[in-house]
Amino acid sequence: MSPARKKAVRKRPAKKKPARKTVTDATDKHTIKCIDGTAQAVYGKAIRKNGKPELTSPVRSLGNVKYDPKKGYLEIGRQRKVRTLTVNTVKSFAQSLRMMGVSKEMIEQDTFATKREAYYVSKNWGEAKFNEQPESDAVMDDIEAMFAIQGVSREQLRFYPEDHGGAVAGNLVVIDRDPVSRAPLRIDCTKFGTGAYTIPHSVEHLEFETKAKFVLAIETGGMFQRLSAHGFWDTANCVIVSMSGVPTRATRRFIRRLSDSKKIPVYAFVDCDPYGFSNIYRTLKAGSGNTAHLNRFFCVPQARYLGVTPQDIVDYELPTHPLLDVDKKRARDALKNDPFFQQSKPWRKAIEDLVKMGVRAEQQALAKWGLNYVIEEYLPAKLKSVKSFLP
Amino acid sequence: MSPRKQTSLFASSGAAAEAAEEDTTPAKRKAAARRAPARKPAAKRPAAKAKAKPKGKAKTKVKGPRTKAHDLAEKQREISVSEFFAKNRHLLGFDSKRKALLTTVKEAVDNALDACEEADILPDLTVRVEAVKVEEDRYRVSVADNGPGIVDAQVNNVFAKLLYGSKFHRLRQSRGQQGIGISAAGMYGQMTTGAPTIIRTRISRRHDAAEIGLRIDTHKNIPVRTKHKVIDWDRAHGTEVVIELEARYHKGRGSVPEFLGQVAIANPHVNITYYGPDKKTPEVYERATKVMPEHAKEIKPHPHGVELGFLMKMMKSTRSTRLSAFLHADFSRVSTPVARDICKRAKVEPDSRVKSLEHKSAEAIYKAIQNTKLMNPPTDCVSPIGESLIQKGLSKEIGEAEFFVSRTRSPSVYRGNPFQVEVGVALGGDLPADDPARLMRFANRVPLQHQPGACAITKSVIDVDWKGYGLQQPRGSMPIGPVIIMVHVASAWVPFTSESKEAVASYPEILKELKLCLQECGRQMQKHLRRRARVADEMKKRAYIEKYIPHIGAALKEILELSDAQEKKVVVTLRDTLERSRKL
């Protein structure tokens, strides 16, 4: 590198915005229309004397969340929150608008930002910058909710989650495209050896080829490893997906699209405790209460609960741990406040049983009968009676 | 008795007290050695007496068999008041060299101010503390006033006789009470240095000024003059008292200048010029007002405040002959019908002769008094500083504070004695924010310097829940914050816990009044703090508008590709709209 070049690199000129590109994609056009529309409404009020600009977003509380079994996911209700520009809201108002500006720019540049990156982008805003990431996350959630009413997701606003999570193995070919050349790319999920295919943060463009009979969503990476290493997906002819705790939106969306496009069922295999029920399984199946405005996309209503069930603890004489206070509270909460569990009689009974037993059991508890018991006995036995799975 | 003999006499108890003080530095030991010869005979004398006694016993002729009681009888003899206090000087506030200096200044200043006020003269004091070079720890204290002066015949008793004074036998608010203070200070000086108390006084231009030297004969509690001469004096009238004493001078908390500062706060009508031992130029505490405090009226005792023994004493010494007349004339709030009512309750004839009544009837009368409902005593015997003068005094001495509040409660009564409570609070300014609040205690305008823990004032300050008023307060301690609290208890008879008048006794009535008064001030302070927080909040919010509105303009410009003029219009209009929505 010549000295002159070095100098040029060090002396970075003031940020120069690349020219706007014409947006051709229909979804992106819609997104931009939504952003412009919101901004225009604010502008219209702002230039009028005594005009009070407003931003409208849905109320994001469990009270404004509904569950329709026919639709199969948690849905945001009709309550709306109108934030009027006042002295108290001026900071977040300014930040929201700036964030929308960033979003529009990213669509025009066809790029994206993670939450963390968006936080750093704000450092350009002088006084309006975020001091900590939780501040920027909160504003982002607001914008996301605001546009969700208009059917625009966070991914469409080009804010991508940090982790994309889920690992996939099994009889599946994912058709992706090369990120640079955009040429189609066939990914055979049987060919990852001891590794696994990782779900990308955006899955909308993926297509699938599979002859698998079902998708098995697994709570822990350890169990996924075991099933993968012993070729369970081959013997049972399925696709296994590791959720690593509460499934991310990409994981949920991936399973949903795979299940929808190939018309194959989804079974969940998680720990038998209130967290496994109400956080992991409920989020997989019906979406999360926190992002109820997005659940339409990010849920798998067709998912069924394979195990571990409270009945399994009895049937398989599983070793248990006592329920902690937080577990009991979570169980009570699920029974009392969660619209999903409230409408499901079998689930209410299962949770009540578990609370009565006062214990919880993990997937790994099956290792009591031998490390491969789960592959050789438990799962095959369970899969024989799919009808008895919890909804 | 010659002066020399006297010196040695005092020195005996002085030596004992000195041993109690930690005198360990070589210099001091040397000084003690130098003084030793003068002391020796005195030190020996008690020992010699003790030895002599068994011999005396052998010589004494006894009628009948000799008993232990006879032995004891020889050791039993009268103790003079002066002797008692010479040995128990801690009771009067002379327990350490440090305290001795402050107590001496305090007693002299109290006397000076009382004298001036009684003569309706705006007090103008000059206080000097000089180091006497010859020996360390030896200081000369001089306090001069512009009061009425003292007639020659009284000088001796006022300055060198314990329990001699004008204030003990009447009920009226004044600084001094017992007539001990200044004489005790002189006695302490005499004991520790051998120097007599020097008095300079003049009663008017037409009279000569005199300089008088005084000692106390502690055996007999009588004053002895060492000198008397006519001098040239620049004061038209007034008194100066000079006492040389063993003392330690220090700065900061509990120092002489701090004490004088507090005197100036509680007595805003006083001018004090102070010459310290280390400074050439004087420190001047200027008066904040030229108005003299209201003259406190003298009152007769209230029946409810009188104990049986005192009642009997009054019955013996009264000028009235008949019982009902005595009750009416010698007490306050006893009208003739009330007097008759008391007699009826006590089942004693109203016309009976007071002096011939027996103990039994006196007791009946005492009980009857307790059961009779009486009007509270008149309260014009108490003269408070007043709310505005408290604030003036505080702001004069403390300087810039953000907020002052003061309250004077209406007079109240404990055990038949009227009293009145005042509180002043200064907040903010340069006061340290993380230290415990500073408490200044006053009783009858005199700053209380010692024993804060034993004092009803401290107790009630701790008792008040200051957290509710916006200060921090650890459990069972003073509040923390940039605050000075001054509390004044004024009464015809302030109940002190000891003769050194360092702490106010905790009568429930006094505690209650103190607490209510502190709470009143607390509420005012809280109001102020709330208002301050609100204004600060509003300012912050206004700053928000300036800060963030331009960003709304910038964001809209970016999204909608506005022109600069359009952006500016957004910013200007919005700022205008928002600012109009706020009011301060």
Asked, for residue B43, whether it belongs to a domain, the answer is: no
pLDDT at B22: 42
> Cα angle vertex B451, ends B447, B454, to 5°?
110
Q: What is the separation of C-alpha B39 from the centre of its chain, rounded to a whole number of angstroms? A: 35
Same domain, B226 and B94: yes
Residue B250 lies in a domain: yes
State the pLDDT confidence band at A60, using cuts at 50, 70 and 90. confident
Are B281 and B211 in a shared domain? yes
DSSP annotation of A23: P
Q: Do residues B111 and B236 share a domain?
A: yes
The reply to whether B320 and B252 lie within a common domain is: no
Residue type, A194: T
CATH number at residue A112: 1.10.10.10
- Strands, E assignment, B93-203: 124-131, 138-144, 197-202
Non-local (6+) Cβ contacts of B25 within 8 A are: none
Among B230, B130, B546, B562, CA closest to A36: B562
Mean pLDDT, residues B327-345 taken together? 89
> Taking a C-beta distance cutoff of 8 angstroms, is the pair B178, B165 a contact?
yes
Does pLDDT of A202 surpass 90? no
Alpha-helical segments (H) within chain A: 3-10, 26-46, 90-109, 115-121, 133-148, 221-229, 232-235, 249-262, 274, 282-286, 310-315, 325-337, 339-343, 345-357, 373, 379-384
Contact criterion met (CB < 8 Å) for B556 and A105: no
8 Å CB contact of B570 and A127: no
Same domain (yes/no): A299, A256: yes
In angstroms, the CA B393 to CA B414 distance is: 28
Two structure tokens written together for A55: 């931003």
Q: In the predicted model, is pLDDT for residue B223 greater than 50?
A: yes
* B581 with A91: Cβ contact below 8 A: no
Residues 6+ positions from B2 with CB-CB distance below 8 Å: none
> Phi and psi (nearest 5°) for B557?
-60, -40
- Are residues A185 and A286 located together in one domain of the fold? yes
The residue out of B529, B552, B569 marking a domain boundary is B529
8 A C-beta contact, residue B297 and residue B378: yes
Residue A123 is classified by DSSP as G
Minimum CA–CA partner of A37 in chain B: B560
Q: Are residues B112 and B247 in the same domain?
A: yes
Give me the pLDDT at residue B15, please.
Answer: 40
Contact list, B572 vs chain A (CB under 8 Å):
none
Within this chain, do residues B516 and B548 fall inside the same structural domain, yes or no? no
The answer to whether residue B469 sits within a structural domain is yes
* Cβ-contact B401, B426 below 8 angstroms: yes
- Residue A15: pLDDT band (50, 70, 90) is low
Residue A283 lies in a domain: yes
Assess whether A288 and A155 both reside in one domain.
no
Q: How far apart are CA A177 and CA A185, in angstroms?
A: 5
Are A143 and A176 within one domain?
Answer: no
What's the rounded Cα separation, in Å, for the pair B251 and A354?
74
Q: Is the pLDDT of residue B560 over 50?
A: yes
Residue A1 forms part of a structural domain: no
Residue B135 is inside which H or E element, if any?
Answer: none
The answer on pLDDT for B170 being more than 90 is no
pLDDT tens for A282-318 read: 999 988 876 776 777 788 999 999 989 999 999 999 9
Question: In the numeric block, which tokens belong to residue B373?
Answer: 């409902």
Residues B334 and B249 in one domain: no
| Chain B residues closer than 8 Å to A106 by CB | none
Residue that finishes a domain, picked among A160, A189, A211: A160
The confidence score (pLDDT) of residue A239 equals 94
Q: CB neighbours of A115 closer than 8 A, spacing ≥ 6?
A: A133, A136, A137, A140, A159, A161, A162
Q: What's the 3-state SS for B3-47?
A: HHHHHHHHHHHHHHHHHHCCCCCHHHHHHHHHHHHHHHHHHHHHH
Cβ neighbours of B547 in A, within 8 Å: 91, 127-128
In chain B, % helix, strand, coil (3-state, to 5) comes to 45, 20, 35
In the predicted model, what is the mean pLDDT of residues A86-94?
A: 87
As a dihedral over the C-alpha atoms of residue A239, residue A241, residue A247, residue A249, rounded to 10 degrees, the angle is -60
DSSP element (H, E) containing B88: none
Residue A154 contacts residue A144 (beta carbons within 8 Å): yes
Residues B81, B217: contact at Cβ < 8 Å?
A: no
Dmax (CA) for chain B in angstroms is 129
What Rg, from alpha-carbon coordinates, does chain A have? 24
Instruction: Answer yes or no: do B193 and B256 share one domain.
Output: yes
Q: Are residues B430 and B403 in the same domain?
A: yes
> In this complex, do A46 and B552 lie within 8 Å of one another by their Cβ atoms?
yes
**Residue burial A173-194, b: 16+ Cβ < 10 Å; e: rest:** ebeeeeeeeeeeeeeebeebee
Sorting pLDDT into bands at 50, 70 and 90, what band is B16? Answer: very low
Give the domain-ending residue among A144, A160, A176.
A160
> CA-nearest residue of chain B to A90?
B548
> Which amino acid does the sequence have at B10?
F
The residue segments making up the domain with residue A320 are: 167-388
Same domain? For A103 and A181 the reply is no
A76 φ, ψ (degrees, to nearest 5) = -75, 145
The mean pLDDT value for A252-263 works out to 92
Do A193 and A321 lie in one domain? The reply is yes
B537 CA: distance to closest CA in chain A (Å) = 11
CA distance linking residue A240 with residue A197, whole number of Å: 11
Q: Please tell me whether the peptide bond between A308 and the residue prior to it is cis, using omega within 30 degrees of 0.
A: yes
**Chain B residues within 8 angstroms (CB to CB) of chain A:** 541-542, 544-545, 547-549, 551-552, 554-556, 558-560, 562, 566, 569-570, 573-574, 576-578, 580-582
Between the CA of residue A368 and those of A15, A122, A323, B112, what are the distances in Å? 61, 52, 20, 97
Q: What is the mean pLDDT of chain B?
A: 82
**Residues A149 and A200 occupy one common structural domain:** no
Pick among A45, A87, A102, A109 to test the B interface (most B CBs inside 10 A):
A87
Cα(A100)–Cα(A145) distance, integer angstroms: 13
Report the SS3 class of residue A26. Answer: helix
Q: Determine the average pLDDT of the residues in B248-264.
A: 87
Structure tokens at A129: 């910058």
Q: How confident is the model at residue A10 (pLDDT cuts 50, 70, 90)?
A: low
In angstroms, the CA A148 to CA A59 distance is: 12
Residues B107 and B233 in one domain: yes
Copy the structure tokens of residue A314.
Answer: 């009895």
B360 and B494 part of one domain: no
Name which of B171, B152, B279, B271 is nearest B223 in CA terms.
B152
Q: Are B552 and A95 in contact (CB under 8 A)?
A: no
- The Cα B511–Cα B517 span in angstroms is 10
To the nearest whole Å, the CA of B523 is away from the closest chain A CA by 29
Q: Which residue of A has its CA nearest to B550?
A: A94
CB contact under 8 A, A97 and B548: no
Q: Which of A36, A47, A93 sits opposite B573 (nearest CB)?
A: A47
Q: Is the pLDDT of residue A193 over 70?
A: yes
- Cβ contact B551–A47 (<8 Å): no
Kindly report the nearest CA distance between residue B529 and chain A, in angstroms: 22
Q: Which of A126, A160, A194 is the last residue of a domain?
A: A160
Rounded to whole angstroms, the Cα distance separating A345 from A329 reads 20
Residue B31: the pLDDT is 43
CATH code of residue A250: 3.40.1360.10
In this complex, do A85 and B552 lie within 8 Å of one another by their Cβ atoms? Answer: yes
Which residue in the set B548, B573, B580 is minimally distant from A91, CB to CB? B548
Percent over 90 (pLDDT), chain B: 24
pLDDT per residue as tens digits for the range B274-333: 998 877 788 899 888 888 888 777 788 888 888 888 888 888 888 888 998 999 988 888
Average of per-residue pLDDT across A151-180: 84
A35/B548 touch (CB, cutoff 8 Å), yes or no = no
Same domain membership, residue A321 and residue A177: yes
Query: Quick one: closest CA in B to A53, which residue?
Result: B574
CA-nearest residue to A34 within chain B is B559
Q: Are B190 and B196 in contact (CB under 8 A)?
A: yes
Separation between Cα atoms, residue B111 and residue B241, nearest integer Å: 10
Instruction: Give me the domain span that covers residue B225.
Output: 87-285
Given a cut of 90, whether residue B581 has pLDDT beyond it is no
Q: Could you give the count of Cα atoms lying within 13 Å of B394 in the half-sphere of its Cβ?
A: 32
B575 CB neighbours in chain A (<8 A) are none
With CB atoms and an 8 Å threshold, state whether A88 touches B541: yes
Instruction: Out of B552, B559, B582, name the one closest to residue A87 (CB).
Output: B582
Q: What secondary structure letter does DSSP report for B299? A: B
Question: Who wins on pLDDT, A40 or B73?
Answer: A40
Domain of B501: which CATH number?
3.30.230.10
Contacts of B549 in chain A (CB under 8 A): 90, 94
Residue A17 Cα distances to A13, B201, B555, B558, angstroms: 11, 94, 15, 11
Alpha-helical regions (H) of B440-582: 456-463, 508-560, 564-581
Question: Phi and psi for A390 in degrees, rounded to 5?
Answer: -70, 145
Chain B: give the shortest CA distance to residue A150, in Å.
18
- Domain tally, chain A: 2
Question: Is position B323 within any domain?
Answer: yes
Which of A304, A283, A287, A305 lies closest to A296, judged by CA?
A287
CATH of the domain at B102: 3.30.565.10
d(CA A217, CA A389): 14
Nearest to B480 by CA among B493, B496, B469: B469
Q: Predicted confidence band at B378 (pLDDT cuts at 50, 70, 90)?
A: confident
Residues A205 and A245 in one domain: yes
Least CB-CB distance to B577: which of A50, A98, A125?
Answer: A50
Sign of CA dihedral B453, B456, B461, B464: positive
Same domain, B228 and B266: yes
- Quick one: A196 and A105 in the same domain? no
In a domain, B64, yes or no: no
Catalytic residue list contains A119: no
**Chain A residues whose beta carbon lies within 8 Å of the beta carbon of residue B554:** 98
In this complex, which of A43, A52, A126 lies closest to B560 when CB atoms are compared?
Answer: A43
Residues of A in contact with B574 (CB under 8 A): 46, 53, 85
Residue B351 forms part of a structural domain: yes
Q: One of A120, A197, A305, A316 is an active-site residue; which one?
A: A120
Q: Which of A1-5, A322-326, B131-135, B260-264 has the lowest mean pLDDT?
A: A1-5
Chain B residue nearest residue A92, CA to CA: B548
Residue A12 in domain: no
Dihedral of CA atoms A77, A78, A83, A88 in degrees, nearest 10, equals -50
Contacts of B544 in chain A (CB under 8 A): 87, 90-91
Tally of domains within chain B: 4
Distance from CA of B561 to the nearest CA of A (A): 10
Residue A47 is predicted with a pLDDT of 86
> Is pLDDT at B42 greater than 50 in this prediction?
no
State how far the Cα of A277 lies from the Cα of A284, in Å rounded to an integer: 10
- In this model, does residue B6 exceed pLDDT 70? no
Residue whose C-alpha is closest to residue B381's, from B406, B335, B416? B416
Locate the chain B residue with the closest alpha carbon to A104.
Answer: B559
Residues A220 and A156 in one domain: no
Element (H, E) at A184: strand A184-188
* Best B577, B578, B580, B583 residue to mutate vs chain A (most A CBs within 10 Å): B577
Task: Render pLDDT for A334-360 as a digit per residue (tens, 0 to 9).
Answer: 888 888 888 889 999 999 999 999 999
Based on the fold, state whether residues A151 and A190 are members of the same structural domain.
Answer: no
**pLDDT tens digits along B470-487:** 888 998 899 998 999 999
Question: Would A110 be classed as within a structural domain?
Answer: yes
Backbone angles phi, psi at B490, to 5 degrees: -115, 135
How much is the CA Rg of chain B, to the nearest whole Å? 31
Determine which of B551, B560, B572, B582 to mutate to test the interface with A (most A C-beta atoms within 10 Å). Answer: B551
